[in-house]
Amino acid sequence: MAEALIGALALMLIAEGLLPFLSPRQWRAVFERAVQMSDGQIRFIGLVSLLAGLALLLAWA
């Protein structure tokens, strides 16, 4: 179980690091737009991301 969690964390860090590594200007623009969003919009994006991750996990398992 711990190996799977470490592997998942590693994949998440790789995915999170791709955009700032490949295109720092675009990464900065994404954060500038995120700062302008309301809390409700950010929560909705978080919920959609969470549900998509759960769906992928259930489909894969």
Instruction: Determine the length of the chain.
Output: 61
Reported as a single tens digit per residue, the pLDDT across 1-48 is: 889 889 989 999 999 999 999 999 999 999 999 999 999 999 999 999
Q: What is the pTM of this model?
A: 0.72
Are 27 and 19 in contact by the 8 Å Cβ rule? The answer is: yes
Are 41 and 33 in contact by the 8 Å Cβ rule? The answer is: no
DSSP letter at 13 equals: H
| Domain with 34 in it | 2-60
The mean pLDDT value of the chain amounts to 93
Number of domains in the chain: 1
Tokens of 25: 């200007």
